[in-house]
């Protein structure tokens, strides 16, 4: 059996084609989406969990070394790995929020794929994370369907990162492919996520059109200029219909990060000075919330940085605020801050004002934010998305008949208006913001594996 698998930055979902109709497969109760999150007692638990609980071996010698190291460290910590040690989705988030400093929590590991300059053991560990999440989705889908799933088409962005080029993309796709194979898929194909979203939109067309698909996901934004319609439906070779592709690592996570950075971090001392008159390095306020940058996270949460933060708190004019930054480090609360920024972003779609409440356990920090302030905070990623749209139009050397916007972040009125500014006279349509990519991948799986 074949499925389309959207291994997303924000959520994962799967679907298959039944009598030419898309059927999404529930993964958590009746919910067809599961958050791309994982929680475990330690990072090392994940690698041993795959081997000991799921009988999934590493894919190479480096992976074997990662597993041996994990088993050794877990034994030293007295951890006996059992199946319930690793949680996914909202259950993982609940465990993290319950006691952030005593668990390993990861959100959106897809954001790290393609990062250059990492050691082989780090890349192998990322593969373990992806494999654990994919295996969970596959097992839940098989339980619901009552049959084995052996074939899949996995969605991928045009570019996993804005830098790194083809080498970055090959690295990321290799991790996804090996993880899927280890999870039990025998046949694995890939399709660009905006192309997949376009295939679902194409199924509704009664005439051929030039369509600019703008897919704004949790981690990336991709633009694909595609010829589509009845003349193309069901064709296995679509190369000549793909006119232009652009993509970059900018998406919903970036909106949350910029909201947190520009509106929340002043409560943690950003903008204050030391008594000597020197500024506090701005990276100390950016790194804890840059959840899509593994190096930034590592620098902030390093043990040596705790000493630096404690010294900065003593030297700061506003010591109480910078002391919150120390708490942020000690209790690993960066994800909690980003979660509140995401809640603000969603709330401000239907309200002019929102009061964010950041829980530091010792205190509740309340921060007011307006819709206009939110729009100003995300100006940087908004302009990047506009640039991708312009680049796609320049590549195609023609205007589209319609703009099809999809992806969870495409719900943002700020981003929709920004795209409309670039192409003011072109109609904008949308379908299932979260499900169009999954549906298109399922349709492509039917073409690939029929």
For residue 26, the model assigns a pLDDT of: 97
pLDDT digits (tens, 9 = 90+) for 170-216: 999 999 999 999 999 999 999 999 999 998 899 889 999 999 999 99
pLDDT band at 116 (very low <50, low <70, confident <90, very high): confident
**Residues above pLDDT 70, as percent of the chain:** 99
| Rounded Cα–Cα distance for residues 213 and 337 (Å) | 32
Decide if 423 contacts 400 (C-beta within 8 A). yes
pTM of the model: 0.87
> Which of 161, 62, 156 lies closest to 114, judged by CA?
161
Q: How long is the chain?
A: 450
> Which of 320, 415, 306 lies closest to 362, judged by CA?
320
| Rounded Cα–Cα distance for residues 124 and 117 (Å) | 13
pLDDT digits (tens, 9 = 90+) for 372-427: 999 999 999 999 999 999 999 999 999 999 999 999 999 999 999 999 999 999 99
279-316: b or e for each residue (b if 16 or more CB lie within 10 Å)? ebeeebbbbbbbbbbbebbebbbeeebeeebbebbeeb
For residues 124-134, give the mean pLDDT.
97
Task: Decide: helix, strand or coil at residue 76.
Answer: helix
For residue 445, the model assigns a pLDDT of: 95
For residue 162, the model assigns a pLDDT of: 58
DSSP secondary structure string, 35-65? ESEEEESSHHHHHHHHHHHH----SSHHHHH
For residue 101, the model assigns a pLDDT of: 84
> Across the chain, what does the average pLDDT equal?
94
Residues 6+ apart with CB under 8 A from 118: 294
What are the structural domains of the chain?
2-193 (3.30.420.40), 208-251+380-431 (3.30.420.40), 253-377 (no CATH)
Q: Which H/E stretch holds residue 223? A: strand 221-228
User: Cα dihedral sign for 144, 145, 148, 150?
Assistant: negative
- Taking CA atoms, 140 is separated from 55, 238, 429, in Å, by 17, 32, 33
For residues 354-362, give the mean pLDDT.
94
Query: Please, which residues bridge with residue 405 across strands?
Result: 214, 430
pLDDT digits (tens, 9 = 90+) for 279-321: 999 999 999 999 988 889 989 999 999 999 999 999 999 999 9
For residue 163, the model assigns a pLDDT of: 55
| Rounded Cα–Cα distance for residues 144 and 25 (Å) | 7
Burial category of 341 from C-beta neighbours within 10 Å (exposed 0-12, middle 13-18, buried 19 and up): buried
pLDDT band at 238 (very low <50, low <70, confident <90, very high): confident
Burial category of 139 from C-beta neighbours within 10 Å (exposed 0-12, middle 13-18, buried 19 and up): middle
pLDDT digits (tens, 9 = 90+) for 30-82: 999 999 999 999 999 999 999 999 999 999 999 999 999 999 999 999 999 99
């Amino acid at each position: 059996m074949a499925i389309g698998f959207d291994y997303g930055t924000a959520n994962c979902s799967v679907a298959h084609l039944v009598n030419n109709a898309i059927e999404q497969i529930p993964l958590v109760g009746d919910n067809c989406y599961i958050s791309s999150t994982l929680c475990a007692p330690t990072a090392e638990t994940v690698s041993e969990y795959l081997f000991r609980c799921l009988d999934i071996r590493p894919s190479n010698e480096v992976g074997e070394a990662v597993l041996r190291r994990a088993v050794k460290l877990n034994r030293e910590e007295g951890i006996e790995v059992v199946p319930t040690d690793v949680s996914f989705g909202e259950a993982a988030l609940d465990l993290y929020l319950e006691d952030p400093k005593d668990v390993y929590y990861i959100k959106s590991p897809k954001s790290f794929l393609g990062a250059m300059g990492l050691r082989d053991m780090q890349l192998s560990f990322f593969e373990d994370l992806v494999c654990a999440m994919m295996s969970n989705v596959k097992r839940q889908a098989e339980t619901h369907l009552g049959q084995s799933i052996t074939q899949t088409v996995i969605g991928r962005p045009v570019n996993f990162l804005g830098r790194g080029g083809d080498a970055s993309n090959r690295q990321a796709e290799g991790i996804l492919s090996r993880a899927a194979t280890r999870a039990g898929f025998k046949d694995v194909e890939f399709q660009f996520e905006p192309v997949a979203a376009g295939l679902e939109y194409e199924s509704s067309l009664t005439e051929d059109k030039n369509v600019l698909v703008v897919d704004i996901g949790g981690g990336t934004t991709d633009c694909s200029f595609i010829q589509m319609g009845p003349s193309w439906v069901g064709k296995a070779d679509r190369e000549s219909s793909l006119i232009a592709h652009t993509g970059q690592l900018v998406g919903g996570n970036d909106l949350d990060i910029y909201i947190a950075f520009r509106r929340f971090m002043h409560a943690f001392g950003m903008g204050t000075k030391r008594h000597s008159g020197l500024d506090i390095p701005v990276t100390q306020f950016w790194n804890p919330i840059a959840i899509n940058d593994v190096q930034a996270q590592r620098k902030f949460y390093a043990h040596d940085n705790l000493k630096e933060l404690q010294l900065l708190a003593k030297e700061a004019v506003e010591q109480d605020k910078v002391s919150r930054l120390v708490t942020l480090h000690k209790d690993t609360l960066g994800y909690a801050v980003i979660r509140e920024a995401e809640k603000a972003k969603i709330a401000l779609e239907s309200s002019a004002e929102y009061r964010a409440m950041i829980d530091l356990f010792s205190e509740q920090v309340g921060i007011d934010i307006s819709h206009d302030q939110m729009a100003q905070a995300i100006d940087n990623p908004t302009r990047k998305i506009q640039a991708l749209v312009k680049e796609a139009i320049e590549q195609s050397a023609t205007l589209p008949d319609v703009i099809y916007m999809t992806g969870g972040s495409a719900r943002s009125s700020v981003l929709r208006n920004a795209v409309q500014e670039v192409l003011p006279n072109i109609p904008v349509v949308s379908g299932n913001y979260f499900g169009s990519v999954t549906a298109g991948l399922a349709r492509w799986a039917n073409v690939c594996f029929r």
